[in-house]
Amino acid sequence: MTTGLGNFKMNGNSSSLKELVASFNAAEADKNVEVVLAAPFVYVPQVASSLRSDWAVAGENCYVKASGAYTGEVSPEMLKDVGAKWVILGHSERRNILGETDEFTAEKTVKALEAGLKVSLCVGELLEEREAGITQNVVERQLNAVVKAVKEEDWANIVIAYEPVWAIGTGKVATPEQAQEVHAAIREYLKVAVSAKVAEETRIVYGGSVNSKNCVAAAKQADVDGFLVGGASLKPEFVEIVNATQ
């Protein structure tokens, strides 16, 4: 099974999301794709209560505690309570704009899994890191913190999203060959760092200016198991991306 993740980011309002969800509910979507929509915290209950039953809802982030004096934070337990089944962690915008470290991302991953959420774990390099030829070093460093923190059996509830930072919201897209190269290297890393079983079974999806026009070629790559979609997930064309592997 492949995975189609939509990430609304800090976009939408109750009216626009009602309309969007209605369009998704009416759409013909590939049943072999696990589809998840990540909404801003305030809209998670609305989307979760109105979305078709074969699709799931995610939070876009969470904190490392179940409750307490952490003003402005949201716990994985709270996300689960209002209908989320997934959470996105380690997104480049959290890492690079808000300064979240590999270790903090790993800590959040552990907490989310303990609370019963599935995790979309994002990794990816900056433009200067790709130009310096250290993409794989960066990705392995980001993954290594999580490998050290989670149990082998927990990988059944983690999807890795490879998102080259230089391709997010820029209109630039990694070529299908570039995506495949990194995905294959991630799988090889998992084989050594965790186990052959985890390497084979973990889904690795691509993110970075994905749209209905560029997704089909990427979907044909052996190690591309779906997509994490930003802006296009706020449009009906998201369904075309979900159906890209048909």
Taking a C-beta distance cutoff of 8 angstroms, is the pair 86, 36 a contact? Answer: yes
Taking a C-beta distance cutoff of 8 angstroms, is the pair 179, 219 a contact? Answer: no
Measured between alpha carbons, how far is residue 4 from residues 29, 60, 77, 111, 114 in Å?
11, 15, 23, 23, 23
Is residue 217 packed enough to be buried (19+ CB in 10 Å), middle (13-18) or exposed (0-12)? middle
Active-site residue among 34, 129, 140, 163? 163
Active-site residue among 34, 77, 91, 125? 91
201 noted as active-site residue: no
183 noted as active-site residue: no
Q: What is the CB neighbour count within 10 angstroms for residue 175?
A: 12
The position carrying tokens 């927990």 is 154
Residues serving a catalytic function are: 91, 163
